[in-house]
């Protein structure tokens, strides 16, 4: 474990920031361009995981455990969100037989 931390700290912090910004952007683009509710949902998870990775990197670099504790908060609440979100998607599927968000235009945007 010690070894892992030193190795992680060996990579410059900037690289983590760039990597996470790229992953986060991919998630944002996914949410904005995809039409399938499940894929949008996966893109959101990608955004959250970019955040988790960056928090861990910051936490290791500044020798402060609170960042890693925050990661647990994010994971727990993301799981709660998944449970509710998938239930909502299933409910929509039962009524419309589709999870394409283009059919969700009966109320106009």
Contact set with another protein (CB under 8 A): 13, 17, 24, 27-28, 31, 37, 40-41, 44, 47-48, 50-51, 54-55, 58, 62, 64, 66-67, 69-70, 73-74, 77, 80-81, 84-85, 88-89, 91-92, 95-96, 101, 104, 106-109
Report whether 5 contacts 67 (CB < 8 A). Answer: no
CB of 21 vs another protein, minimal distance in Å: 9
Task: Identify which of residues 10 and 108 has a Cβ nearer to another protein in the complex.
Answer: 108
For residue 42, what are the CA distances in angstroms to 48, 67, 83, 85, 86? 10, 24, 13, 11, 11
Cβ proximity to another protein: between 10 and 29 the closer is 29
Rg (CA), the chain: 18
Take residue 30 and report the two structure tokens written for it. 């996914």
Query: Minimum distance between the CB of residue 100 and another protein, rounded to whole angstroms?
Result: 11
Nearer to another protein, 6 or 76 (CB): 76
| HSE-up of residue 57 (Cα within 13 Å, Cβ side) | 17
Shortest distance in whole angstroms from residue 103 CB to another protein: 9
What is the number of alpha carbons within 13 Å of residue 25 lying toward its C-beta? 6
């Amino acid at each position: 474990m010690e070894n892992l931390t030193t190795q992680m700290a060996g990579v410059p912090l900037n690289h983590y920031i760039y990597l996470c910004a790229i992953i986060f952007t991919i998630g944002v683009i996914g949410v904005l361009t995809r039409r399938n509710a499940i894929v949008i949902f996966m893109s959101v998870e990608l955004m959250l995981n970019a955040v988790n990775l960056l928090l861990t990197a910051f936490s290791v670099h500044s020798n402060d455990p609170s960042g890693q504790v925050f990661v647990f908060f994010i994971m727990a609440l993301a799981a709660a969100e998944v449970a509710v979100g998938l239930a909502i998607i299933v409910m929509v599927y039962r009524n419309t037989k589709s999870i394409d968000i283009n059919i969700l235009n009966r109320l106009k945007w």
